[in-house]
Structure 1
Amino acid sequence: MKLVVALSALTIVAAGCGGGGSDDNSSVSAASAINAAQGLYGGTDANDNTVGGVVLDSGAFYFVYADSSTDSLGLVQGTASAAHGTFQSSDARTFDISGKSASDTPILAGYNEKNSVQGAIYTSAAKQSSTKFNVLYDANYERPVALSAVAGKYSGSAGSTRGGETATFTIGDDGSIKGAGASGCTFTGTATPHGNTDVLDATITFGPSPCYYSGATLSGVVFVSNNQLLAALTLPNRSDAFVVAGSKWLMATAAVSAR
């Protein structure tokens, strides 16, 4: 998954252990039973951000955008319908982590099944201006993920619109998740394969203070490839998001560091 490697390599100044995710689908547009645009994708947008993410079979999508040269980082999340070449979402929200804001940003795009999605993310519900994007399908989506293959400890950056810090994110062989930020905020949860795809569904619960969202239970998705991890989640009411990007601790690296 090239999109994961590209995004995880960025220096992310994002929010500390105070974000997280679960979709609130009470106001989403109807999606196809099996979304025709489902898949992993990677590409760019008109602001020269690297864009990577997933459209699930349910129509729920998570797209992270980032640019280390401008300290740009954010997540676009929602649920889309995809039919007859048209990909659209009326409930999409952009969580501008570097800008510390969240807003409704509808999407209207075209798609070619197992090929690409390209179109515009409107910068407001009024649709007065937009940002164009173009992402290409990643066939790794069709390769079922094994928990044993992605299990391990990852370190990197974590963020929400409330702030950011370095953090660790550990996945166990049984799918258990635990993590901690430099502030002392902790979180625990679970990860399970999303059907026969290279995506993990994830749920986490944040610990007590100093976590921004103490006790909140969040859900979203996790991708792991080439020892790089990217997690994207939203709060239940979708008022904020939690993004994690990290690299896996390898035994060789740990041995060198211990000397």
Structure 2
Amino acid sequence: MLVEAVFLRWGHDFRDYSQASLKRRVLHAQKQMGVASVSALQERMLHDATAFSELLEHLTVPVSEMFRDPHYFRALRTQVVPVLRTYPSLKIWVAGCGAGEEPYSMAILLEEEGLLDRTMLYATDINPAALDKARAGIFSAEQVRLFTSNYQQAGGTRSFSDYYTADYGAVVLDQRLRRNITFADHSLATDSVFAETQFVSCRNVLIYFNRTLQDRALGLFHDSLAHRGFLGLGTKETMEFSAWKPRFEQVARAERIYRKVAQ
């Protein structure tokens, strides 16, 4: 009933999210928001936009890190970038971008490979608060040590400190990384394809969907991709049981990188 109410009142569709994961998040939200029951949580968010925004934070879990799974970005450099370099201009979609860690990581990789200036990066999410944070490009100084280690393992060719300015316990990413990124609201559950892209990266998002919604998202990625475009998923995600499996071929098995099959 809570999920139905969210959809009818606010237009966010969690009905095909994994039930076990969704239940954990709702109960956590109930506790953190100080309400006595799920019914009380539903009543509150129906009549209070601020309460809904807080609930959305708990339901979407925008937690990540820059260059998460460094071997994925290493594989992009060796398996995907050489093909992307053949295009005169590029469009890349990072779906479920959270607070921006992945699109900024992608921007750094593209900068080092000489491709950023001719690339438009679309970074989308359903969480407005996360998108606002992503647009700001500000991260805590405590995160930088992990980001730096990941960057080095991912094959970074410079010093990670080249890409940010440190000030008062926080770091601000360089403006040149942000100028080619468009952050926008987009739901894989309800919205349609908005651009033709050469590469889609959607990592650690499908694990929160049930099979129906996973197939819907994979269909969106397939329809968005240009001829022989690339798709990157999270290390715990697979196409193995999807109806879309025949439409893609594996490029890097361990890193979950696929390529659209020619039609």
TM range (shorter): under 0.3
Give the number of the structure whose residues are more often strand, by fraction: 1
TM (normalized to structure 2)? Answer: 0.27
TM (normalized to structure 1)? Answer: 0.27
